[in-house]
Amino acid sequence: MTTTSGSVPLAAVDAWWRAANYLSVGQIYLQGDALLQHPLTVDDVKPRLLGHWGTTPALNLVWAHLNKLIVERSTNVVYIAGPGHGGPGVVANAWLDGTYSELFHTIPLDGTGMQRLFRQFSFPGGIPSHAAPETPGSINEGGELGYSLVHAYGAVLDTPSLVTACVVGDGEAETATLAASWHLNKFLNPATDGAVLPILNLNGYKIANPTLLARIPERELLALFTGYGYSPRIVAGGFDGEDPMLVHERFAAALAAALDDIEVIQDAARRPEHPVTERPAWPMIVLKTPKGWTGPKVVDGLPVENTWRAHQVPLSGVRDNPAHLAQLEEWMRSYRPEELFDDAGRPVPWLDANRPDGELRMSANPHANGGLLLRSLSLPPLEPHAVDVSAERGAVVEPTRMLGRWLRDLIALNPDNFRIFGPDEVASNRLDDVYEVTAKAWQGEVLATDEHLAHEGRVIEVLNENLAQGLLEGYLLTGRHGLFTSYEAFIHIVDSMFNQYAKWLESSAHVEWRRPVASFTYLLSSHVWRQDHNGFSHQDPGFLDHVVNKKASVVRVYLPPDANTLLVTAEHCFGTRDYVNVIVAGKQPTATLLSLDEARAHGARGLSVWEWAGTEREGSEPDVVVACAGDIPTVEAMAAVQILAREIPSLAVRFVNVVDLMRLQDSSEHPHGLDSDDFDAVFTRDKPVIFAFHGYPSLIHRLTYRRTNHANIHVRGFKEMGTTTTPFDMLMLNDLDRFRLVMDVVNRVPALRVAYAGLSQRMDDERVAHRAYTRAHGEDMPDVVGSAGLPFAPGGTDAAAAADTGDDNAR
């Protein structure tokens, strides 16, 4: 019996591997006779065969060997299965660990539990076929491939004791996110972070084709990963009937050496007397094994093992073809289950040697259930950063600049529990005051001309939105807090990642033992209405439409109209759990409309009637409601109301601002929604509503289609008219300017349409004049740039905006 220098014999590792393989096959195929106590019959086989066998044996092999290392070294390990569609393997190991039965009491660690484990897999009312939230120890779903390695790196940030072992499938390795994720070793600080051990499993095939990395020469493969900054080791085996024990020996040695290397790197970095200045070459393993290893080699005369045919269900005709049924039974008995489970179906004591204790079990590691470790943030007070409007509303500031100062204090109070992630835009989005207390994490070469780079930085910037998203997901799911900041138009790059994360949160809410984690918060700035200098490519507010498709239990959307409301919104979002919060806020100078106290009240209500901004008479209904959501639409709506107040002083205008977009939905559809009576009280049952909206107009109609007064709601917003022009011309191109809003009021209030046709014509003339002025002078007219007699400045171009053109174009 071959053993390592530790206490776990390789024979025990092999037994664990065989047991996990047996349980994996059983989950895919069986609904009866889990212990093969009788010859299999058609009734023992599920009517629908679902699952992925091809990747599962390697996932089980890695798990079995990591168990050995954990037992021998007490290493703190989280296991990430990149090929998460190999869910039967991850579930099988969690059951063998005992964790599954502890969390799901109806699935005990015996024959009854095994029978139920098999039946529930990919079965109505059961569990998904992927490593889903229901899977103990998982923080990576794996349905959509590509996110495993970035999750692994996010998980180990600020957790120096943690090792994340990440199995990367060679099909997954072809995805864009995974291909870029290899670079994340440049952000890992060996002194304060944990370690990631990537294990690239080259099994040669995707669902129907060979994989790229499996078909390049070994010298190219080694050169590739050496170039990425790793120290790769290749372990190959299992081909042509090779004895699995030889593979166990080689893989055990490679894993032990990799863990030794990690310890050397971390020990060197954690000795203050010898600071490390060079970036280390972290270990990684390339594991070459046959796809579908230990499964059927030939089916119906065609090769299966080590081909693409092993990807999903190798024996697909088991219920109809007696030869397939016999082959399935032969396959399952090849694992010698009588050696692995006793007569009652319990794992035999021999397997205990390879089972870690308690929270050292990878399926029970608390880092994979991050809410268990979550500490609330210490939130700094808002008052020092609030804009004073006590003398007069309208102080002009950059809203995100004020937020950046508050985030600076937040980082100072939470030096190991909060990070900012984004694509090279923290300074561009006016958050650069954070660099007073932190730097950008960077383990690469630093030149004299560089600024704000350091090993221990709390900001991670990488020009890849997918990596920023994935790092924050991994960071949150392991119990920490953070912020993702991006340009609004380019956040669409992570549409699919957002989908997957929202689905994870939706599913997690139904898993009793999953503890809530900190919410994922997006800050979208450099938004559509102030990307006039960069042009059409930078002008797209459609992420909001994408977000509200998800369940109301998960998504929240906020459009703070000014700096003080932005501060209140951020404070609220960082205290929430299990949500995706989307905040859209401008970085260009704009008016501060509310005091901090007013902003708090407005944020708590979600939408408010601003009596001071309207002209309605107390005690009577308004003639028209002018509503708005978003900072620039709010300014334009207020300017329109002031024109109406001057031109039609008898008109009663109600002004409504919406900061929490989901308040527009009915309370039966979203927990933030207003009930019908409250909505009608604000927006009336029958009066015209002119709504100036930050995004696409159709979204407001989607949210309000059930409302009593929906037929009278007329929305102005972005209608895909973009170009390089001036800020006000952008508004006119999309009919969101103040003059168009005045025309809308005149045309939709029946008593005004004829009586004030002249005013409507003059507003149209204003639009023509403004358009001509921009074409002649290259800038907006002074009456929409300066104060223009309003009690606040409606924003406009300035030196800061002009200076920003360069770095925006770099994006």
Q: What are the tens digits of pLDDT across the range 393-405? A: 888 999 999 999 9
Is the pLDDT at 5 greater than 50? The verdict is: no
In which band, very low, low, confident or very high, does the pLDDT at 811 lie, cut at 50, 70 and 90?
A: very low
Check whether 34 has a pLDDT greater than 70.
yes
Structure-token pair, residue 573: 């979002």
pLDDT the model gives residue 97: 97
pLDDT band at 792 (very low <50, low <70, confident <90, very high): very low
Strands (E), 230-322: 230-236, 282-288, 298-299, 302-303
pLDDT surpasses 90 at 547: yes
Nearest to 570 by CA among 494, 694, 508, 659: 659
Is 363 among the domain residues?
Answer: no
The CATH number of the domain where 707 resides is what? 3.40.50.920
In a domain, 464, yes or no: yes
Domain edge (last residue) among 312, 341, 357 = 357
Alpha helix segments (H runs only) across 372-514:
399-413, 465-477, 495-508
Q: What is the pLDDT of residue 787?
A: 41
Using one digit for the tens of pLDDT, what is the confidence trace for 423-443? 988 999 999 999 999 999 999
Average pLDDT over residues 476-485: 98
592 in any annotated domain: no
Alpha carbons 446 and 279: distance in angstroms, whole number? 11
pLDDT of res. 789: 36
3-state class (DSSP) for residue 654: strand
Average pLDDT over residues 163-181: 97
Q: Let me know the angle formed at the C-alpha of 140 by 137 and 142, rounded to the nearest 5 degrees.
A: 125
Q: What is the mean pLDDT of residues 556-567?
A: 98
Structural domain total, the chain: 3
State whether 626 and 564 are in the same domain. no
Say if residue 537 is in the same domain as residue 629: no
Q: Does residue 654 lie within any of the structural domains?
A: yes
Amino acid occupying residue 726: T
Q: What is the CATH number of the domain that holds 236?
A: 3.40.50.970
Residue 603 is assigned to a structural domain of this protein: no
595 neighbors 564 (Cβ within 8 angstroms): yes
Tokens representing 780 are: 């907006």
Confidence of residue 786 (pLDDT cuts 50, 70, 90): low
Single out the residue of 536, 579, 533, 524 nearest to residue 556, CA to CA: 579
* 531 and 646 assigned to the same domain: no
Same domain, yes or no, for 507 and 560? yes
Q: What crossing angle do the helices spanning 495-508 and 465-477 adopt, rounded to 10°?
A: 10
On the question of pLDDT at 607 being above 50, the answer is yes
Helix then strand count (H, E) for the chain reads: 26, 22
Q: Which residue has the tokens 């179906």?
A: 345
* Beta-sheet pairing, 453-454 with 195-202: unpaired
pLDDT computed for residue 800 by the predictor: 33
Same domain, 304 and 248: yes
Q: Which percentage of the chain shows pLDDT scores above 90?
A: 88
Q: Is residue 396 part of a domain?
A: yes
- Collapsing DSSP to helix, strand or coil, 590 comes out as strand
Question: What is the domain range of residue 532?
Answer: 383-584
Q: Indicate whether 6 pLDDT > 80.
A: no
| Cα-based angle 141, 145, 149 (whole degrees, multiple of 5) | 80
User: Is residue 565 located within the same domain as residue 689?
Assistant: no
pLDDT, tens only, 509-529: 999 999 999 999 999 998 988
Q: Per-residue pLDDT tens for 746-764?
A: 999 999 999 999 999 999 9
Q: Within this chain, do residues 671 and 803 fall inside the same structural domain, yes or no?
A: yes
Average pLDDT over residues 53-73: 97
728 in the same domain as 778: yes
pLDDT number for residue 392: 85
Mean pLDDT of the chain: 93
**Residue 806: both structure tokens together:** 């360069």
| Predicted pLDDT at 530 | 87
